[in-house]
A = this chain, B = another copy of it.
Amino acid sequence: MKIHNIRREQDICSYTFEEFSELVKSFHGYASPGVIIGGYMVDMAYRILPDGGLYNAISETSKCLPDAVQLLTPCSIGNNRLTVVNLGRYAVTLYDIYTGEGIRVSISSSKICLWPEIESWFFKLKSKKEQNETRLIQEIREAGISICSIIRVKVNDGILTKHHRSGFSVCPCCQEAYPIEDGEMCRGCQGETPYEIVDNAIGQDTIPDF
């Protein structure tokens, strides 16, 4: 049970720092510094955006930050409300789904120089072994949003427009359903599968007992 009612500077959306760290551990595998910083970034965007809006998200990196978005917003990869545009920059945008107007929060390379562990972690100046994880997390907690830059943006129509599929066909090669616009066979059978088939004879009879 929460025993405080006053919002504290270290809070991340509706979570305390400790609660959010636990959540990150359970979803991401460990209390990743990147996801925790990402938590502050998402929290900050929400503080600036008007209450009651419907917001989708863009992450400019595939590393860590998308998980902060998925844990703190209604946006996920599977519901297509989170788009990863992998530009290699540690920045997240929350934008109004109707107008495209939004807030972009990024880590500022000039502001992190005040925080030696954050700086060496962010620029990968030390190996993971050399890194002082406890001090890093402590610095992140103390720095909070102060290491970030915030701008207003308007998201392009290409992101705003929902792409609906025109229909499905059954691929003559693999017999699986695929989007009709992909051509005469599915893109897997056109050579894009990331695996080789080792055994396609696993039937229901070989499935282990329930």
Which A residues form the contact surface with B (CB < 8 A)? Answer: 7-9, 27-29, 32, 34-35, 44, 47-48, 58, 60, 62-68, 70, 74, 76-81, 83-85, 87-91, 93, 95, 100-104, 106-110, 122-124, 145-146, 150-156, 158-159, 165, 167-168, 170, 174-179, 182, 186-188, 192-200, 202-204, 207-208, 210
Contact = CB atoms under 8 A, between A and B. Distances in A.
A166 to B, nearest CB: 9
4 A-B pairs closest in CB distance: A67-B78, A152-B199, A153-B195, A152-B198
Given A58-B194, A168-B124, A188-B87, A79 B32 contact: yes
Contacts of A179: 88
A70 B199 CA distance: 26
B192 A87 contact: yes
Q: In the assembly, how many copies of this chain are there? A: 2
A77 B88 contact: no
Q: Is the interface of A mostly helix, strand, loop or mixed?
A: mixed
A24 to B, nearest CB: 9
Given A76-B67, A79-B28, A194-B159, A187 B150 contact: no
B198 A109 contact: no
A207 B150 contact: yes
A177 to B, nearest CB: 5
A65 B80 CA distance: 11
